[in-house]
Structure 1
Amino acid sequence: VAQDKGNCSFQKNPTPCVIPQEKENIFHTIFAFFTKSGRKVLDCERPGRSCLIIRCNLSSLAKAESRSIDVHMLLNTEILKK
């Protein structure tokens, strides 16, 4: 976000996020195979708790105006193999 259009900040969860361990049984594996969405969500600590929260405060927008928020980050690709 351009500085005159707003600002973004992030809050990192103090608990380290790790790759889930192999605790799944055959039913979880089958279910995961048939429900793959191409999207991976990495929970931290417990389901639904994100590893990183990004908050953006934007200045006022005109009715037809839009804003772009570009996020660039390095990720541990091991999670994609699970």
Structure 2
Amino acid sequence: MVRLREHDTVRVAQLLTPQRPFDGTEGVSRSPRVGDVATICHEYDPDDSEAPVSVEMVDGQGNTVWLADFHRTELEPAP
């Protein structure tokens, strides 16, 4: 299994918590969806493969569509 790290580009493969809290830029924000491509922007505990990671998806203008915490098992490397 590939170890996902900070700054990796990832795809949301599954949503174990579909109604998770998220932040984003007003007017463009929405909740994460399976298939979204985003970037891991923070590892809460890089030494713990079970620790959550913070992931951000931005649009073409650099606005944050969503920023949310995920379990690594919900993510896969982006193609």
Normalising by structure 2, we get a TM-score of 0.21
State the structure with more CA Rg: 1
Name whichever structure is richer in strand by fraction.
2
Name whichever structure is richer in helix by fraction.
1
Q: Which has the higher contact order (CA 8 A, sep 6+)?
A: 1
